[in-house]
Structure 1
Amino acid sequence: MDWNLGRPALLRTGVAFDAVRIREPLVHAAVGSPHPERVSDELAEALDGPVIHDPAAWYYALVRAGTAGTWRSPLATVKGRDSWLAVPRVDRLGPIGVHWAVPPAPGRRLCQIEAVSMLLPAGQEKRGGLAPVTASIERRPAPAPLRPCSETPIPPVGELDSEQYAGRACYACGTSLWRGAEYGGWARGFAGVHNLDTEVWACPNGELA
């Protein structure tokens, strides 16, 4: 088991739990802060369940298995059956590497789906309600330009949902693929000694992620 080596273990979702994958800026907007201690406290109170933080860009709220089949919010995706999640050892509390923002604990069950669903629009509303542009804001560096999905770095297997893993959705943005998809390359990952490498595909015609 990778936990014995201090590394996250890749566990199959859709069995003991599903995982709602939420973009980091959305969570920080919802709780009103990017500071780890504040985020952990707010998520623990709001969701009352375990949450994993991947500093690369994501939070994963662990919810009951089967959620992927009924999920409808466009603000997050759900890892369900036939997908995998990098799960840190229970004592990995960050801030470096994949860690628990809210660790499992006695008496703490999985996150409530209704609470996760409420968190998402709250964060989106706060992100949309930013202060007007001022001279001080104008002096900040310009955001990095968007790039085609096919030029986006390929994430590890543990960050793909089942559709991306199967090649039916763009590995960069999650859009369903029908025809004309561009070959992306290989996503890499292991579950113990089992090689989970898979070929991934991107949106056609240079669409932007």
Structure 2
Amino acid sequence: MTVWWPLPKGLDAVLLPAGEWWDAVRVPAYLGEGVLTRLGSASGAVIRDPYGSRLYWLVEPESAQGWSFCEFAAVQVLGEASWVTVPPSSRLHPPGPHWAVPCTPAGSLTPTAALQAALHATITQNLGPRPRPAAPQQAAPTQAAPTQERG
């Protein structure tokens, strides 16, 4: 199997549209390092942006839509109408954006369920469990006031 999307050639990173070949899941580096550790060899390609202190996982388009994490985690799914700075395949070290996990001919996408589980576990470990919303309370039945009939 070969990489089916246009990896940049040359020395410079380029902007590529998310949502066509892949979506990207942007994670702050302080959480991303834990996610990388949890995923281990299950991780697909990961882009590290040292300037923004972010890591980007590539996943199947639309497979991560609707994910919900604590807003303090600042995890963002980038799909259609988003652009991602993608380094050339040879860029494995700074300066600039580079591959934390290189894109390989065997594949570049991370399994979405594995990434979601690793994110959830890492966020819970670093930020604490996410509180569940309180269940709505049912109002006690009210009695109607007696009506008087006029006669």
TM-score normalized by the length of structure 2: 0.67
Change (3 A) 1:43 1:6: farther
1:96, 1:122 → 2: CA distance? 30
Tell me if the contact between 2:46 and 2:57 (Cα under 8 Å) persists in the aligned partners. Answer: yes
Q: Does 1:60 align with 2:59?
A: no
Q: Percentage identity across aligned positions? A: 34
Change (3 A) 1:14 1:92: same
Q: Which runs of 5+ in 2 are unaligned?
A: 1-5, 129-151
Moved over 6 A (4+): none
Q: Which position in structure 1 is the counterpart of 2:84?
A: 85
2:60 aligned partner, one-letter code = R
- Give the secondary-structure state (helix, strand or coil) at the position aligned to 2:30: helix
Q: Which position in structure 2 is the counterpart of 1:19?
A: 24
User: How is 1:89-128 mapped onto 2 (pairs within 5 angstroms)?
Assistant: 89-128=88-127
TM-score normalized by the length of structure 1: 0.50
CA RMSD in angstroms, aligned pairs only: 2.5
Report the CA distance between 1:111 and its aligned residue: 0.4
Q: Which position in structure 2 is the counterpart of 1:71?
A: 67
- Give the secondary-structure state (helix, strand or coil) at the position aligned to 2:115: helix
Q: Which position in structure 2 is the counterpart of 1:48?
A: 43
1:58, 1:100 → 2: CA distance? 12
Q: Which runs of 5+ in 1 are unaligned?
A: 32-38, 130-209
Report the CA distance between 1:7 and its aligned residue: 1.5
Give the number of the structure with larger relative contact order, counting CA–CA contacts within 8 Å between residues 6 or more apart. 2
Q: Which position in structure 2 is the counterpart of 1:199?
A: none
Change (3 A) 1:16 1:43: farther
Q: Please identify the structure whose Cα radius of gyration is greater.
A: 2
Report the CA distance between 1:50 and its aligned residue: 0.6
User: How is 1:135-150 mapped onto 2 (pairs within 5 angstroms)?
Assistant: none
Q: Which position in structure 2 is the counterpart of 1:165?
A: none
Report the CA distance between 1:94 and its aligned residue: 1.0
User: How is 1:189-200 mapped onto 2 (pairs within 5 angstroms)?
Assistant: none
Q: How many residues align?
A: 119
Tell me if the contact between 2:38 and 2:118 (Cα under 8 Å) persists in the aligned partners. Answer: no
Give the structure with the higher percent helix.
1
Tell me if the contact between 1:68 and 1:79 (Cα under 8 Å) persists in the aligned partners. Answer: no
Write out per-residue CA displacement over residues 70-129 of structure 1, whole angstroms, 9 at most, x where no aligned residue: 333344111100110000000100132100001111223410111111121222233247
Tell me if the contact between 2:39 and 2:118 (Cα under 8 Å) persists in the aligned partners. Answer: no
1:70, 1:98 → 2: CA distance? 27
Write out per-residue CA displacement over residues 153-181 of structure 1, whole angstroms, 9 at most, x where no aligned residue: xxxxxxxxxxxxxxxxxxxxxxxxxxxxx
